[in-house]
Amino acid sequence: RIQTRKGHKLKVGPYILLDILGEGGMGRVFKARHVRMGREVALKVIRKERISNKNVIRRFQTEIRAAGQLVHPNIVLALDADSAGQMHYVAMELIEGSDFKQLVTDHGPMPMHVACEYMRQAAIGLPHAFEQGMVHRDIKPSNLMVTKQGVVKILDLGLAMLNEPDAIGKPEQVTVEGLVLGTPDFLAPEQAQNAHSVDVRADLYALGGTLYFLLTGKIPYDGPTPTAKVLRHVNEPPPSVRVWRPDL
C-alpha cells in the first residue's frame, strides 16, 4: 500500500493496521496499534453490508456498549468501538493463541481431559455474559480461543446481532451458513425456530456440539446443505461420540 501511495488506507480511526489475522463472513480482523497509546489490539472491521441502516447501527452500538461491560478472564475484552467514514470497527484485546478449529485441524482430536478443561472454562464465561443480558448465539470452535497459557477466551460477544435477519434485511436467507441463525453445524434447534427468543441454553447446546468436535474432529450432524443440517439438529437424536472415540 505504501509503495503504491495508498498508505493512508492502513489507518482506521486512531489505529494503524499492522497485519491481517483472519477473515470471515462478518469482516476482517487485523493486528493494529493505537496511534497515541501504542497499545496493540485485534481490530475487527465490519463489512458494510452487515450494518445496512440506522436502526442496525443503533443496535450495534448498544450491544457493543454492553459487551464493553463484560470483564471476565474467559471472555475477550472489548476495548473500543467506533466508526471511521463508512467503516465500523471493534477493538478487542489481542490474544496470542489458536482457536479450537485450528487446533483440531493441526493436531487432530483432543485428549478427553484437555477438551473437558477447555469446555469447563468456556462454560464459566457464558453465564457471566448471560447475567449481563447477553446471549452469544454463535458459539463454535472458531469463536473460542486458547492462549499460550491455556486460558480459554470467548470471541465476538456483542456481534451476534449482525447475524440476525434485520441486520441485512434479508430474512428469507435463514439457511445461509453463518449469516442469520448462527452456524448450522452447532445450532440449537430452538434457535433455528426463533433466533430472537433464545437464552443461554442455546449457547450451552452449541458448546456441547463444540465438545463433540474437539473429541472427534467432526461436526455433530453433516448434510449437503445448511438446511439439511438444521433439520437433523431438530429431528434426530444426539450422535454418540463413541462411534469415533470408543475409548471414551
Which one, of 167, 147, 152, lies nearest residue 211 by Cα? 152
The residue annotated as part of the active site, out of 80, 82, 99, 138, is 138
The C-alpha atoms of residue 193 and residue 139 are separated, in whole angstroms, by 17
Contact between 140 and 210 under an 8 Å Cβ cutoff? The reply is yes
Whether 138 is catalytic: yes
- CB-based contact 50:26 (threshold 8 Å): yes
Classify burial at 102, counting beta carbons within 10 Å of its beta carbon; exposed 0-12, middle 13-18, buried 19 or more.
middle
How far is 54 from 49, CA to CA, in rounded Å? 12
Phi, psi of 91 (to 5 degrees): -100, 125
Please give the positions annotated as active site: 138
